[in-house]
Structure 1
Amino acid sequence: MRSAVPGATRRTVLSTTVAAGGACALAPLGQAAAAPAAPGGPILKPLPTARFVDFGTNAEMRWESVDPRRYLTEQSRLFVRNHTRTPVIDRDSYALRIFGDGLARGRSADAAVELGWRELRRLPTTQLTSVHECTGNGRSLFASQQGTPASGTAWTLGAVGAVTWTGVRLADVLRRVGLDRRAVSVQATGLDDPYVSGGVDYGRVRRPFPIAKALDDALLAWGANGEDLLPDHGYPLRLVLPGWVGIASIKWLGSLEVSRTELTSPWNTKWYRMTGGEHPADSPPLTVNPVRSAWELPWGAELEAGRRVVLTGRSWSGAGPVTRVEVSTDGGATWHPAARRRRGGHSRGRDAAWAQWSYVWDRPAVGSHELLARATDARGRRQPLVTPYNDNGYFFDAVVRHPVTVA
């Protein structure tokens, strides 16, 4: 069957190679052969201990290593969230498969439209800057700050970064392929190994999202901060859903199913929705990230007494720009506005990522203190003092109590 896209051809979808450059293993149409694990672990890029906490399949950027002078997060510094291991993919034989009854000409998975790397690169290119964040960022604070431990990787605040993505708008791709006006849902599926947990094979990581998001600001990205994606961050192509939970931005994008009915997967029915605590059993899948703030200094930092101390930090929201940041140096007894640190066009506009800010603490008293920062976004959402508990520790958005000592 001929492709619906001019110039597109049918081909074997993907080959994955051994990290050291071994022989390619060809997979059946619609699947991908798993790359053997790289020597040293499931993450391929270096993870120096001064910059990362290595959790095995996941790696957290140490927040205290963030450079206050830099706005964007280099890929080499960006956190890694894998369900299995990073595959190594041959870009020349890669193709994105698009199918489903939500296309103008409905297609089964076996008759998918296929777009290769060069075909995608010939489409109009765009860039957007957004905060990319794991849904569980701050999870460990449920235990350390609120006394309610939650299961999952014990992220502190480093499962986040700001990235300028380069790619093609998903809306342009879908319109070029041909979209049925009755389409309501898109499911993105990755090409990493199937995820097995508790003896159950849940298949490849996949998650649906509404057609409205697909036609709004969704991006098929091949670049980050002016460079090709690293393998750990989705090379050669990944989905980016700005402002949404990290799991929604599927890495190593293999296929998109477009449907006239609501699609589901374990990643929006079993996981990545609120369960436990006081949350209702029918809580919807998580989408837009909350408002968060973090000070740019080590946990338990020692500060010099008797002088003016310039403190800096960042705040961000999945729903839009941060409009106000307030800080407290006395554990929340009093609050003061922080000064915004504007850097070019990054601090405003539709594709704004995080807001950088500063506060001058004038001659702090000797002793132990808690620094607090809370942000408000353009939709009026402000960080609470307590985050309601949930089983998986998602969306810890409470004001973080950051300890420091003045001596």
Structure 2
Amino acid sequence: MKQATATIVKPLPDHLFRVHGESAEMRGEAMSGMGYHTPNDRFFVRNHTSTPLIDATTWRLRVHGAGVRCPREFGYDELRAMQSRTFDVAIECAGNGRRFFGTQQHDAAPGTQWGLGAIGVARWRGVMLKDLLMEVGVRPEAVDVLPTGLDAPFKDYGHVCRPLPIGKAMDDVLLAYEMNGMPLPADHGFPVRLVVPGWVGVASIKWLGDVEVSTSGVQTPWNTVFYADVTTNPAKSAFELAWNARLPVGGLHILHGRSWSGRGRIVRVEVSFDGGASWREAEHHGRHLVSAWLPWHITWAPRRTGAHVLMARATDASGITQPLVTPHHPFGYHFDAVVRHPLEVVNG
């Protein structure tokens, strides 16, 4: 089934990515002018080990466990022949923004030092997980669903796997085989991956090979040792602008950005140009999806040269607004404070 492995298969040009070992972060400016969806070649990569290259003709998805009546295997063509659904969904690493625990709050957390580029929104097409589970006959006593990936085991912890409660599995989870109208790229889970709207990225298991339905709660390293207390992603905001960008003084600039939240739709975005002393509401048009992000823009005419700091904060449908400071997390998860984005205003 597996043919070969590489840490990351796709090209990682410096103007699009910051490489963090086995993972790659998309630069904020890489989304400038790109439209709503993150192009496949710019989508961030989070690998625990390396990207497996899998032959779809021999790939099988095993669905089994005490919580199903008729365990069976599904082939790639079988899945593609089933009724499909298409959704625009964000996938975000739980550690997105981790480096700001250190750079902004002076309380660094271990792990990959992501900025705000460990997120992407794609148009995913596939089969609803609930439809597959209905094919095998989910028992009323089913409790958890455990999807497992086919990438190499991570240290002594085994294959990446993250249990889902049966309620979530039977709700909005997708078994995706297409990404932005193309078969899944190798780095993003070919031939089939999970897409779990609103939840931390580790739940959206790539290179899916096994789904076990249990009649009791499941514990794995990915919900005990790692990611033990994180499920739904909080609200965050990012500018489509290079870090330490240079803008000319004296002109009117239209600054673009995106805000998102796993808790619900973004209802307001505000921007500050004076360190948080005052805030202006940004404008937004077009798609306003719960499971993805909200693009926005605001005008700014800087009147002096020198260093400036931009700040953007979002409020989601739960009524929660991004704070200026967020509590420290020992693993650096869920940094949701307003990020201070530096730039330089220069003579034109």
Same fold (TM over 0.5): yes
Q: Secondary structure at the match of 2:83?
A: coil
Mapped partners of 1:377, 1:55: distance in 2? 30
Q: Which moved more, 1:388-397 or 1:360-369?
A: 360-369
Please state how far the C-alpha of 1:73 moved relative to its aligned partner: 0.5
Choose the corresponding residue for 2:338, options 391, 395, 399: 399
Matched, 1:227 2:171: no
> Aligned residue for 2:50?
85
Q: Secondary structure at the match of 2:130?
A: helix
Q: Secondary structure at the match of 2:163?
A: strand
Q: 1:178-217 alignment to 2 at 5 Å?
A: 178-196=137-155, 201-217=156-172
Deviations, residues 352-398 of structure 1 (Å, cap 9, x unaligned): x1111111113433332211110011111211111111121111110
Q: Secondary structure at the match of 2:51?
A: coil
Amino acid at match of 1:102: G
Q: 1:42-53 alignment to 2 at 5 Å?
A: 42-53=7-18
Q: TM-score, normalised by structure 2?
A: 0.96
Runs of 5+ in structure 1 lacking a partner? 1-14, 18-34, 106-111, 274-284
Q: 1:123-134 alignment to 2 at 5 Å?
A: 123-134=82-93
Matched, 1:268 2:223: yes
Mapped partners of 2:40, 2:305: distance in 1? 39
Mapped partners of 1:383, 1:168: distance in 2? 34
Amino acid at match of 1:120: L
Mapped partners of 2:300, 2:10: distance in 1? 38
Amino acid at match of 1:228: P
Q: CA RMSD in A?
A: 1.3
Please state how far the C-alpha of 1:309 moved relative to its aligned partner: 1.7
> Aligned residue for 1:315?
259
Please state how far the C-alpha of 1:67 moved relative to its aligned partner: 2.1
Amino acid at match of 1:207: R
Deviations, residues 298-336 of structure 1 (Å, cap 9, x unaligned): 112222222222111110111221110011110100011
Amino acid at match of 2:193: R
Q: Secondary structure at the match of 1:103?
A: coil
CA change 1:333–1:150 in 2 (3 A) is: same
**Equivalent residues of 1:134, 1:246 under 8 A apart:** yes
> Aligned residue for 1:145?
104
Amino acid at match of 1:396: F
> Aligned residue for 1:255?
210
> Aligned residue for 1:159?
118
Choose the corresponding residue for 1:169, options 114, 121, 128: 128
> Aligned residue for 2:268?
324
Choose the corresponding residue for 2:200, options 241, 245, 263: 245
Matched, 1:337 2:296: no
Mapped partners of 2:341, 2:195: distance in 1? 31
Quick one: higher RCO (CA 8 Å, sep 6+), 1 or 2? 2
> Aligned residue for 2:242?
298
Mapped partners of 1:55, 1:65: distance in 2? 17
Q: Which moved more, 1:303-312 or 1:203-212?
A: 303-312
Please state how far the C-alpha of 1:221 moved relative to its aligned partner: 0.4
Choose the corresponding residue for 2:316, options 377, 395, 400: 377
Please state how far the C-alpha of 1:216 moved relative to its aligned partner: 0.8
Amino acid at match of 1:104: R
Mapped partners of 1:297, 1:48: distance in 2? 17
Runs of 5+ in structure 2 lacking a partner? none
Mapped partners of 1:296, 1:204: distance in 2? 35
Q: TM-score, normalised by structure 1?
A: 0.83
**Equivalent residues of 1:341, 1:358 under 8 A apart:** no
Please state how far the C-alpha of 1:337 moved relative to its aligned partner: 0.6
Mapped partners of 1:156, 1:73: distance in 2? 17
Choose the corresponding residue for 1:288, options 232, 240, 257: 232
**Equivalent residues of 1:299, 1:404 under 8 A apart:** yes
> Aligned residue for 2:303?
364
Structure of greater Rg: 1
Mapped partners of 1:145, 1:129: distance in 2? 32
Please state how far the C-alpha of 1:62 moved relative to its aligned partner: 1.4
Mapped partners of 2:330, 2:280: distance in 1? 34
Mapped partners of 1:104, 1:374: distance in 2? 48
Matched, 1:347 2:347: no
**Equivalent residues of 2:200, 2:231 under 8 A apart:** yes
Mapped partners of 1:363, 1:290: distance in 2? 31
Q: Give aligned pairs, total.
A: 346
Please state how far the C-alpha of 1:405 moved relative to its aligned partner: 2.1
Mapped partners of 1:383, 1:256: distance in 2? 36
Please state how far the C-alpha of 1:177 moved relative to its aligned partner: 1.1
Mapped partners of 2:93, 2:186: distance in 1? 18
Mapped partners of 2:237, 2:123: distance in 1? 20
Q: Which moved more, 1:227-236 or 1:50-59?
A: 50-59
Mapped partners of 1:76, 1:404: distance in 2? 26
